[in-house]
Copies of this chain bind each other. A is one copy, B any other.
Amino acid sequence: MINKRGFASDNNAGVHPEIMKAIERANCGHVVAYGNDIYTERAVEKFREKFGDDIDVYFVFIGTAANVLSIDAVTKPYNSVITAYTAHLHEDECGAPERFTGCKVLTLSTGDGKLRISDVEKEMYAIGFEHHSQPRVISITQSTEVGTVYQIEEIRELSKFAHINNMLLHLDGARLSNAAVSLNRPFREFTRDAGVDIVSFGGTKNGMMYGEAVIFFDRKHSEDFKYLRKQGMQLASKMRYISAQFERYLTDDLCLELAMHSNKMAKILEKEIRNIPGIEITQSVESNMVFAIIPKEITDALQREYFFYVRNEMKNEVRWMCAWDTTEDDIMGFVKVLKNLMNKRNT
């Protein structure tokens, strides 16, 4: 069976062959369940190499859980979490943050998916006033849900602001590798060293089968995380299969290699699209996504050839996402169909 590649989501892509091989290698004999095994030890070691020896890192199944449990670890239910309106945490987790942590999620509208202090400040009132949820976490996504990337200085400013106000900075890094490639800086430089306190580190969207990591840069924030992970229904019994993936993912910079590819594909796509009159690119292309407004009447026909999602029905803004396995041929094929549809429309 052949499943045709589209531009709907990096979640629609499969597992990279090197990751698959790592899984197979781990499939040998008995090891203690729930993470007390050599594969997990080695994967954790890989994270330490990237982020520092004194981190605490825990594996969970999905990004929603990584975000929700990150917040749960450092809040009480009367706290609030400040995030962008576009954040996965708010838009795409079906209220899991509210239900599991009890916290209020405060959202700020942003054009480009990036939080700014001038926005966050609007929610900084009634501190110490028991009638009002108390802000405790600022959560940003890197790269953002609209494909933009925070500059290191922007992150540093947010973390400073957070710490001055007795808050923490959480970073949803479901596509952290794409950001690393975009910034061309090591992970650590734009997370830990920029003042981020907790990272949801993604693997699934960039070539893994399943598995995300929660990284704590200060162990006092993770003191009871093992209980929270279990109670949050995220403790894998056969943990070794997540760990083996992460070990390989972080070896020889495979994670960066794959992200570099998908970012590059997005750039090629962007370039081609910019040559098509009547299509407006709406966000700066800084990672593996292109957002564009296209004519409503061609959408269905285009989706039939290469599947993708409409993000905003009103404006007919669509999202085209490249994955680790997107090829230049895919893009050229897609662009050809798109051009044809646009031409037909103009005649």
Chain A residues with CB under 8 Å of chain B are 1-6, 8-9, 11-15, 20, 23-24, 26-34, 38, 61-65, 68, 76-80, 91-96, 98-100, 102-105, 125, 130-134, 204-205, 209-210, 224, 226-238, 241, 307, 313, 323, 325
Taking the closest CB of chain B, its distance from the CB of A259, in whole angstroms, is 17
A226 CB to nearest B CB, Å:
4
Could you tell me if B94 and A133 are in contact, using CB atoms closer than 8 angstroms? yes
Contacts of A125 in B (CB 8 A): 313
A76 — which chain B residues lie within 8 A by C-beta? 224, 227-228
B130 touches A30 (CB 8 A): no
Docked-complex contact A94 and B132, CB < 8 angstroms = yes
Q: From residue A315, how far is it (CB to closest CB) to chain B in Å? A: 13
Q: Give the Cβ gap from A208 to chain B, nearest Cβ, in Å.
A: 8
Q: A132-B91, A235-B62 are in contact. Are A29 and B11 (CB under 8 A)?
A: no
A38 & B133 in contact (Cβ 8 Å cutoff): no
Residues of the B chain whose Cβ atoms lie less than 8 Å from the Cβ of A235: 62, 64, 130-131
Secondary structure at the A interface, as helix, strand, loop or mixed, is loop
Are the CB atoms of A307 and B32 closer together than 8 Å? yes
Q: How many copies of this chain does the complex contain?
A: 4
Known: A96-B233, A235-B130. A20 touches B30 (CB 8 A): no
A238 neighbours in B (Cβ, 8 Å): 11, 14-15, 204, 209-210
Given contacts A237-B11, A241-B209, contact A95 B133 (CB under 8 A): yes
Residue of B nearest to A205 (CB): B237
Interface centre among A68, A79, A94, A209 (most CB of B within 10 A): A94
- The 4 A-B residue pairs with the shortest CB-CB distance in the complex, in nearest-first order: A3-B29, A99-B102, A11-B33, A78-B227
Residues of B near A205 (CB, < 8 A) are 237
Task: Verify B33–A12 contact, CB threshold 8 A.
Answer: yes
In the complex, the answer to whether B307 meets A229 with C-beta atoms within 8 Å is no
Per the bound structure, the CA–CA distance linking A133 and B231 in Å amounts to 9
Q: Which residues of B contact A62 (CB under 8 A)?
A: 61, 233, 235-237
- Supply 16 further A-B pairs (C-beta < 8 A) apart from A20-B27, A30-B323, A95-B104: A1-B38, A2-B28, A3-B31, A11-B237, A15-B27, A23-B23, A61-B234, A77-B231, A78-B224, A94-B230, A96-B232, A98-B105, A99-B103, A100-B233, A104-B105, A130-B230
A96 touches which one: B93, B231, B241 (CB < 8 A)? B231
A231 in complex: contacting residue of B6, B14, B99, B230, CB < 8 Å: B99
Q: In the complex, what residues of B have CB within 8 A of residue A1's CB?
A: 28, 38
Would you give the shortest CB distance from A340 to chain B, in whole angstroms? 22
Q: Are A131 and B230 in contact (CB under 8 A)?
A: yes
What are 16 A-B contacts with C-beta separation under 8 Å?
A2-B29, A4-B29, A8-B30, A12-B30, A12-B33, A14-B26, A15-B238, A23-B209, A80-B95, A94-B231, A95-B133, A96-B230, A98-B98, A98-B105, A100-B233, A130-B235
Q: Which of chain B's residues has its CB closest to A224's CB? A: B76
A64 to B78, CA, bound (A): 14
Q: Give Cα distance in the complex from A23 to B14, angstroms.
A: 11
A231: chain B residues at CB < 8 Å are 77-78, 93-96, 99, 102
Q: Known contacts A209-B241, A233-B65, A235-B62; is A98 also within 8 Å of B104 by CB?
A: yes
